[in-house]
Amino acid sequence: MNRGTRIRELAWRKSSYSTENAEECVEVALDVLATVPVRDSKRPHGPHLTLPAPAWTTFIDAVKGRTLRG
């Protein structure tokens, strides 16, 4: 992420599997160079994680069942 980019200014989105009133959701901000910021939707001004893009892709693939366990 560019050091000049403020976390709160990013375009955050919830999963398409979330409902409007879902209480346990994470939000991600995409289109950030080489990283994926992740935050708790209930605490948008609270702490967040910033993951390397490849780690986020691996996580999503595992959640979707695309990763085989060795």
Residue 4 resides in a domain: no
Structural domain for 19, as ranges: 9-63
Average pLDDT taken over every residue of the chain = 79
Q: Does any domain span residue 69?
A: no
- What's the domain count of the chain? 1
Asked whether residue 58 is domain-assigned, the answer is: yes
Domain annotation covers residue 25: yes
For the segment 42-65, the average pLDDT, to the nearest whole number, is: 88
Give the percent of the chain with pLDDT over 90.
11
Distance CA 44, CA 62 (A): 25
pLDDT band, very low/low/confident/very high, at 68 (cuts 50, 70, 90): low
Query: For 28-56, what is the mean pLDDT?
Result: 87
Mean of pLDDT values over 10-25: 76
- Would 1 be classed as within a structural domain? no
Mean pLDDT of 37-61: 89
Is 64 within 8 Å of 52 (Cβ atoms)? no
- Of residues 65, 69, 9, 68, the one with CA closest to residue 37: 9
Please check whether residue 59 lies inside any domain of the structure: yes
